[in-house]
Amino acid sequence: MKKIDWYILKHFILTFFFCIILFTAISVVVDISEKTDDFARSRLSADYVMRNYYVGFVPFIVSFLFPLFTFIAVIFFTSRLANRSEIIAILASGTSFNRLLRPFIIGGILLAALLWIGNRSIVPRANEIRTSFELKYTKSNNPSNSAYKSSIYMRIDSVSYCGIRYYDTTTKSGSGFFMDKLEDNKVVYNLRADNIAWDTSSRKWKLSGIVERNINGIQEEAKQDTIRRMDLNFTPNDLKRDEFVKTRLTTPELKELIGMERLRGAEDINDMEVELYRRDATPVTVIILTLIGAILASRKIRGGSGIHLAAGFAIAALFILFDRFSTIFSVKGDLPPLAAAWLPNIIFSFLTYYLYRRAPK
Say if 202 falls within a structural domain: yes
The parent domain of residue 206 ranges over: 157-233
End residue of a domain, out of 207, 233, 259: 233
SS3 for 148-202 is EEEEEEEECCCCEEEEEEEEECCCCEEEEEEEEEEECCEEEEEEEEEEEEEECCC
End residue of a domain, out of 209, 233, 257: 233
As a whole number of angstroms, the distance between CA 252 and CA 258 comes to: 10
Say if 148 falls within a structural domain: no
Least confident of 67-76, 176-185, 316-325: 316-325
Closest CA to 341 of 287, 284, 290, 292: 284
Burial 61-77 (b: 16+ CB within 10 A, else e): bbbebbbbbbbbbbbbb
Res 45: pLDDT:
86
Greater confidence (1 vs 144) lies with 1
Is the pLDDT reported for residue 142 higher than 60? no
Residues 181 and 57 occupy one common structural domain: no
Residues 79 and 186 occupy one common structural domain: no
pLDDT in tens, 209-260: 999 999 887 788 888 888 888 888 888 877 776 667 888 888 998 888 888 7
* AA identity, residue 145: N
Residues 105 and 197 occupy one common structural domain: no
Say if 346 falls within a structural domain: yes
Res 286: pLDDT:
92
Say if 68 falls within a structural domain: yes
| Section 136-144 average pLDDT | 61
Looking at the structure of the chain, the number of domains it has is 2
Element (H, E) at 327: helix 305-331
| Section 148-164 average pLDDT | 80
pLDDT over 90, % of the chain: 22
Say if 32 falls within a structural domain: yes
pLDDT in tens, 78-112: 888 888 888 888 888 888 888 888 889 999 999 99
| Section 67-82 average pLDDT | 86
**pTM of the prediction?**
0.77
* Cβ contact 115:282 at 8 Å: yes
Least confident of 162-171, 208-217, 302-311: 302-311
Residues 133 and 272 occupy one common structural domain: yes
Res 139: pLDDT:
66
Residues 21 and 126 occupy one common structural domain: yes
| Section 11-20 average pLDDT | 89
Is the pLDDT reported for residue 151 higher than 80? no
As a whole number of angstroms, the distance between CA 297 and CA 235 comes to: 54
Say if 125 falls within a structural domain: yes
Residue 284: other Cβ atoms inside 10 A:
20
Which strands sit side by side in the sheet containing 160-168, from one edge to the other? Answer: 148-155, 160-168, 173-183, 186-199, 204-216, 219-230
Task: State the chain's mean pLDDT as an integer.
Answer: 84
Residues 86 and 209 occupy one common structural domain: no
Res 177: pLDDT:
92
Residues 19 and 121 occupy one common structural domain: yes
Confidence of residue 146 (pLDDT cuts 50, 70, 90): low
As a whole number of angstroms, the distance between CA 315 and CA 292 comes to: 9
| Section 161-183 average pLDDT | 87
pLDDT in tens, 32-48: 988 888 888 888 888 88
